[in-house]
Amino acid sequence: MSGTRKLWGGRFTEAPDETFAEFNNSFRFDKRLFEADVRASIAHANGLRRAAVLTKGEANSIIGALTQLLDDSRIDFKFFDSNAEDVHSFIEQKLVEAIGETGLKLHTGRSRNDQVATALRLWLREEIDEITRLTRELQSAIVDTAEGFQKVVMPGYTHLQRAQPVLFAHWCLAYFEMLKRDRARLADAYERVNVLPLGSAALAGTSFPIDREAVAKELGFREVSANSMDAVSDRDFAIEFVGACSILMMHLSRLAEDLILYCSQEFGFIELSDGVSTGSSLMPQKKNPDALELIRGKAGRVFGHHATLLAIMKGLPLAYNKDMQEDKEAVFDTVDTVKSCLSVAGIVFANIKINEHRMREAAESSYMNATELADYLVRKGVPFRTAHDVAGKVVLRAMELKKELDEMPVDELKAISSDIDEDVFAILTLENTIGSKLQIGGTSSEQVGQGLKDAREYLTK
Ligand code: ARG
């Protein structure tokens, strides 16, 4: 265990209450920021050297020790055994253990307030990259599946009632689109994460001539924050990130729900691989879609983190307040949850079995071509509202006769509307119902084929 030297002991005469210390300490979770904080500390040391606050020798000694800490942390499994208050004090302790007095100079011109904001942003930048990569992989699995089953038809639903037939690939590409928007939102959030708060110090800025732009450049930040009070108390970037993740998780939960329905005996459209299913301890026949149910459930957990962050920040006076330490676990758990859900969704998708026959059977029934009949009448000059009414009457009669529309005797059809002729049967086919949706975004194989091409092209970027 490292020592317990405090960063702020000077004006205190009594030791901290133990219960409070445990309550106050964040090291057990913010140690995840270790690497980011060391990298930011190295850039800060360079900044102090350029400002001639540190000599070259002092800066080198600090940077050498910090670099060594990074190496040690990777091989020494007891490295993080410490009762440090937080990751920032932990690093300073380790530094002073390694090089003595010189280590105490690193904190010149900075505060944990700008430090923690910097470390969290640095850390989050990499995690956003990783989440983006995993989202892309899921998109890729979706497109692979869609391409493999380009001719497969299925019912499309509204109100979970059979509505109009669509291509299975069309359904796949709907989720692809959602994930495209998610990536755009993450990229946008990244831009606002990518701003350097370091140099804002506690809240008022620093009196040492540190070139903040040079520090930003060294750490790869797009720009430096414009207002020191805002910089140390801004967690918009975290809220925005978790917000983008909430929408992403909402999409994954809808994907999960569709697939959970589709693999039920009632639908029977797909089968999940054994690898992502579980059995029942009681019912030997069961195969349950736990992977998807967990994704659906974990969406709620991420929404909760979003609400947590907003609630923490609401009404906080400027500038830094300790309330803000509560942001970490929400952000960390969001990252872990989203990453695991994306990975599992990708595996589920890559191994899905499609029951083409059941899907077609469902797509051919339930009068899902009734809109085609109405459109047919419109082309014969009947106003749509009237055509809709006629088609409705035909459906009613067909239900009485227990027939699908294309099985109706033509006389029955003519009895309802004299505008209906033999040529109606050509438009009532499943092929025409789907194939006629030729406008951009429609479910015809031409449009879906174009959608698949565009998706492939997007994935190469
Ligand atoms: N552990 C703190 C946090 O996560 C670091 C900043 C503490 N600053 C302070 N003045 N107490 O917010």
Q: Output the pLDDT for position 192.
A: 98
Higher pLDDT, 167 or 7: 167
State the residue range of the domain holding 415: 362-459
Query: Of 119, 113, 112, 172, whose CA–CA distance to 141 is shortest?
Result: 172
Q: Output the pLDDT for position 280.
A: 82
Provide, rounded to the nearest whole percent, the portion of the chain with pLDDT above 90: 93
- In the reported structure, the alpha carbon of residue 197 is separated from the centroid of ligand 1 by a whole-number distance in angstroms of 14
Say how many Å lie between the first and final Cα of the chain, rounded: 48
Statement to judge: residues 91 and 169 lie in one domain: no
Domain stops at, among 361, 389, 407:
361
Single-letter code of the amino acid located at 178: M
Statement to judge: residues 229 and 301 lie in one domain: yes
Total count of domains within the chain: 3
- In the reported structure, the alpha carbon of residue 89 is separated from the centroid of ligand 1 by a whole-number distance in angstroms of 10
- In the reported structure, the alpha carbon of residue 73 is separated from the centroid of ligand 1 by a whole-number distance in angstroms of 22
- In the reported structure, the alpha carbon of residue 331 is separated from the centroid of ligand 1 by a whole-number distance in angstroms of 16
Mean pLDDT of 32-50: 98
Query: Which of 113, 118, 318, 321 for a ligand 1 pocket mutation test, highest count of atoms within 8 Å of Cβ?
Result: 113
Nearest CA to ligand 1 atom 7: 112
Statement to judge: residues 374 and 306 lie in one domain: no
Active site residues: 159, 280
CATH number at residue 146: 1.20.200.10
CATH number at residue 84: 1.10.275.10
Give tens-digit pLDDT for 340-352: 999 999 999 999 9
Statement to judge: residues 100 and 166 lie in one domain: no
Residue 421 counted as domain residue: yes
Residues with CB under 6 A from ligand 1: 26, 30, 86, 112-113, 116, 320, 322, 324-325, 328
pLDDT band at 286 (very low <50, low <70, confident <90, very high): confident
**Nearest atom within ligand 1 for CA of residue 322:** 12
Nearest CA to ligand 1 atom 3: 325
Q: Which of 149-153, 285-289, 335-339 has the lowest mean pLDDT?
A: 285-289
Give tens-digit pLDDT for 352-386: 999 999 999 999 999 999 999 999 999 999 999 99
Provide, rounded to the nearest whole percent, the portion of the chain with pLDDT above 70: 99
pLDDT band at 4 (very low <50, low <70, confident <90, very high): low
Domain stops at, among 108, 141, 164:
108
Give tens-digit pLDDT for 400-419: 999 999 999 999 999 999 99
Give tens-digit pLDDT for 196-207: 999 999 999 999
Does residue 1 surpass a pLDDT of 50? no
Q: Output the pLDDT for position 2.
A: 42
Give tens-digit pLDDT for 135-166: 999 999 999 999 999 999 999 999 999 999 99
Does residue 277 surpass a pLDDT of 90? no
Helix axes 56-75, 34-50, angle to 10 degrees: 170
Residue 211 counted as domain residue: yes
Residue 270 counted as domain residue: yes
Statement to judge: residues 121 and 20 lie in one domain: no
How far is Cα of residue 79 from the mean position of the Cα atoms in its chain?
32
